[in-house]
Amino acid sequence: MTKLFKVFYEGYSASDVEQLRVNRKWGLPGVKCSVCHVTWATIGVAYPSVDLSTLPEEKQYRRLWPVPLDELEDRRRPLLDLLPNGLVPPPGTDLGPLVGTGRGAFCDFVWVDPWTLLAQPEVLERLRKSEVHLPRSVPALITFKKANIRELVELELEPRTLMARAAFPNEVHQCRACGRNDATMPENIVVQRSTIPSDVDIFRDRLMTTLILATDRFVESVNRLELSGLEFREVDIA
């Protein structure tokens, strides 16, 4: 029976150990909803494999200031055929590879922030040879100076699981227009068993998009290979 683990790393913010200065060229803006009257954007959802350079309206995806819902829909519509698995990107979705510079000493896995995970390419190859099912990985366009590595790739972690209602002490409300929910990260994470994917061993949660989860197969392989940069905490399944 599959077990699930929260993926994190307490040492990700050690600026004198890992130094990355990166950003993305494109994204969806936040939204100003006229129904729930909240201005908001999702954090964590990113599709580094999506290239918008051929879109006639490419430049509008560089402007990320919050927009009304109808304008968000206009910007979202051309992206639907570009995203994997027919996914609908929420406001605030990041698009395209990371671009920037890096220097210093890096672990096997590298965190840009608590919800963006990169790895050295040879690390992912070792995991694949261990029969770990990995998502798509995309080279980060980073120039390294005085660093112990030459390349990093970003894991394209799709929102796949759904947190169980039992995880939240109060009812979660969702806006019928913009899709925003008022849930906050619970102390005890509980995931719906029926939403755990079978084709990939590391992914995000759809409700809490900053939450990265991994199966026991991923965790056991990382520990056995003694890979650095990740920590794990088991979560509940209902």
Handedness of CA 217, 12, 209, 81 (dihedral sign): negative
| pLDDT for residue 86 | 76
pLDDT at 162 over 80: yes
**Residue given tokens 């520990």 in the structure block:** 223
| pLDDT for residue 31 | 98
Q: Which residues of 73-106 are buried (b: 16+ CB within 10 A; e: fewer)?
A: eebbeebeeebeeebebbbbbbbbbbeeebbbeb
Extents of the domains making up the chain: 4-11+157-237, 25-95, 97-155
Distances (CA, A) of 217 to 41, 64, 135, 145: 33, 38, 14, 35
Q: What percent of the chain has pLDDT over 90?
A: 87
pLDDT of 7-36, one tens digit each? 999 876 555 456 899 999 999 999 999 999
Residue 93 near residue 28, CB atoms below 8 Å: yes
Query: What distance in Å separates the CA atoms of residue 41 and residue 167, rounded to the nearest whole number?
Result: 23
- Residue 167, C-beta contacts closer than 8 angstroms, at least 6 positions apart: 186, 188, 189, 190, 236
Q: In what order do the strands lie in the sheet with 153-155?
A: 109-113, 116-119, 153-155, 137-139
**Residue given tokens 């056995």 in the structure block:** 224
Cα radius of gyration rounded to whole Å, the chain: 18
| pLDDT for residue 2 | 85
Q: How far is CA 59 from the centre of its chain?
A: 23
pTM attached to this predicted model: 0.94
H-helix segments, the chain:
69-76, 121-129, 216-224
What is the rounded average pLDDT of the residues 191-205? 97
**Residue given tokens 């099912």 in the structure block:** 133
DSSP string, 170-192: SPPPB-TTT--B-----SS-EE-
| pLDDT for residue 87 | 81
Phi, psi (degrees; rounded to nearest 5) at 191: -110, 140
pLDDT of 111-157, one tens digit each? 999 999 999 999 999 999 999 999 999 999 999 999 999 999 999 99
